[in-house]
Structure 1
Amino acid sequence: MAAGVLSNRVDRKDLAAGDHIYSWRAAYLYAHHGIYVGDEMVIHFTRATGQEIGTGTFLDSFLLSSSPGSDEGAGPPCQRCGPLVVRGRDGGVAMSCLDCFLHGGGLYLFHYAVSPAFFLAKARGGTCTLAASDPGHVVVHRARYLLDKGFGAYSLFKNNCEDFAIYCKTGLLVETAFSVGRSGQLASLTAAFSAVASSPLRFLTTSASGLAIVSTGMYCVGRYVSDMGVRRDVVKVPVQNLVAQTQTSAVEAEEVTSETAATETTVAAADGASSPAR
């Protein structure tokens, strides 16, 4: 574990089924996460290429969670895993071979049940957590179950690939709707923003070194209290219950959309009927 402070990089021969792995994208700007299920295959949560955020801007193609070379219509399909199939309109769970998942990047292992000192030494978020992992066979079961049933709609800020992998490893979900999800990458970004822009403590010092110490301290505290291993707003949810909740929410959302569309149609028809002839 000591070597992991400097780098989480591993060799593929050292992987075990149920490992949470990731690979850096866009010059180490962010990482894509998945669950290794054995036989050189990875289950991961993704959107189709060019749709990662869903903003309709160039940012959608800048952030890639899927592997362009294995997407349908983006080139010859992989001979091992075929074209990447994302079932949901808003993203879904897919299975790819390890090579397609890495997309030419390095292979890294996400660490669980680390000590607070180790966690804070890994200044970059999205690499480890204080939360404990469940046994490998339980992790693989969750990943395969969600591959078949789905993990809800992809959301960069609330339900992304790291959130998926952490849930598969721990079974933990965040109860409060207003907080950041399970992603350590986004927790780090939020902590950094709070340390630099939002902390009133930055006014307690005027020196550059003092400001650096205060900002670093606030960043570390922000990351620590956002971690799944210490948060109080998390609950263990069986995968069957999670899928049932997700499907119920999807049905309710669809009903609301249908009712809204029907109401708008009725109002439009009424307005047309009441308009005076010209």
Structure 2
Amino acid sequence: MGNTHRTPRDNIQPGDHIYTWKAAFIYAHHGIYVGGNKVIHFTAPENASSGWIISSSSSSSSSSSSSSSSYPQPGNRVSICSLDGFIGSGSLYIYKYDVTKVDFFFKLRDGTMTIAPSDPPQDVIDRAYYLLEHGFGEYNLLTNNCEDFALYCKTGLLVPTGGSGQVWGFNIGMRGDAIKVKVEDVHLYK
């Protein structure tokens, strides 16, 4: 199957988990497309000044983001940016959900698909906006990263031990320790 997830911008829909490869395909950066040319994503502290962050005054909001405060809150690494700002000079890819085990095991690179099914798009968007305001814990490349953020927004699944849902090839959809967590309770696991 390979990495066939590259997609034109007009193919993405609000609630899609998107990603772009950074640093010559060394790593991918993940986020949730929320519509209106905006992406909510979780960044490492060193990326906070990368130009990705915009204020809420220029973003569209969902029903769960009625607060008028600016984003992100102090210490919160969840931010919102334009689709162009998210992609940068890279290409746009869509993360696949509810794939077969065969497709998952024969993929060429980790971080492009999961066997876990996605929740409805509005649930995904509402989670992303909630976490934009309330945070997703401390960023950690191995245990709490941008892919974990996007996977949680799409599925509502977390690993209670704080481990990454995908790192080392442990697919969130096959992990026996992944549990469904209401967005209001994420802070209990982060």
Q: Same fold (TM over 0.5)?
A: yes
Letter in 2 for 1:182: G
Question: Counterparts in 2 of 1:1-278, with a 5 A limit?
Answer: 5-48=2-45, 51=46, 68-70=50-52, 86-89=72-75, 91-177=76-162, 180-183=163-166, 186-187=167-168, 223=169, 226-243=170-187, 245=188
Q: How far off is 1:168 after superposition?
A: 0.2
Three-state SS of the structure 1 residue aligned to 2:186 is helix
Q: How far off is 1:7 after superposition?
A: 1.5
Q: 1:69 to 1:176 in 2, by over 3 A?
A: closer
Letter in 1 for 2:50: P
| 8 A Cα contact 1:47 1:86, kept in partner | no
Q: What is the aligned residue count? A: 178
* Stretches of structure 1 lacking an aligned partner (at least 5 in a row): 52-64, 188-222, 250-278
Partner Cα distance (1:9, 1:167) in 2: 22
Q: 1:114 to 1:104 in 2, by over 3 A?
A: same
Identity of aligned residues (%): 44
| 8 A Cα contact 2:13 2:33, kept in partner | yes
Larger radius of gyration between Structure 1 and Structure 2: 1
Partner Cα distance (2:110, 2:93) in 1: 13
Taking structure 2 as the reference length, the TM-score comes to 0.84
Partner Cα distance (1:67, 1:28) in 2: 22
Taking structure 1 as the reference length, the TM-score comes to 0.59
Q: 1:114 to 1:131 in 2, by over 3 A?
A: same
Partner Cα distance (2:25, 2:135) in 1: 28
RMSD: 2.4
Letter in 2 for 1:118: D
Higher relative contact order (CA 8 A, sep 6+): 2
Three-state SS of the structure 1 residue aligned to 2:108 is coil
**How far does the alpha carbon of each residue in 1:176-201 deviate from its partner, in whole angstroms, 9 at most, with x for none?**
35xx4113xx32xxxxxxxxxxxxxx
Partner Cα distance (1:111, 1:119) in 2: 10
Partner Cα distance (1:6, 1:45) in 2: 23
Q: How far off is 1:242 after superposition?
A: 1.4
**How far does the alpha carbon of each residue in 1:30-76 deviate from its partner, in whole angstroms, 9 at most, with x for none?**
0000000001100001134xx2xxxxxxxxxxxxx56724469xxxx
| 8 A Cα contact 1:66 1:101, kept in partner | no
* Stretches of structure 2 lacking an aligned partner (at least 5 in a row): 60-70
Partner Cα distance (1:40, 1:242) in 2: 27
Partner Cα distance (2:146, 2:154) in 1: 13
Query: Structure 1 residue runs of 4+, over 3 Å off?
Result: 69-72, 85-89
Q: 1:71 to 1:176 in 2, by over 3 A?
A: closer
**How far does the alpha carbon of each residue in 1:118-144 deviate from its partner, in whole angstroms, 9 at most, with x for none?**
111212000000111001010000000
Greater percentage in helix: 1
Q: How far off is 1:5 after superposition?
A: 3.8
Q: 1:29 to 1:67 in 2, by over 3 A?
A: farther
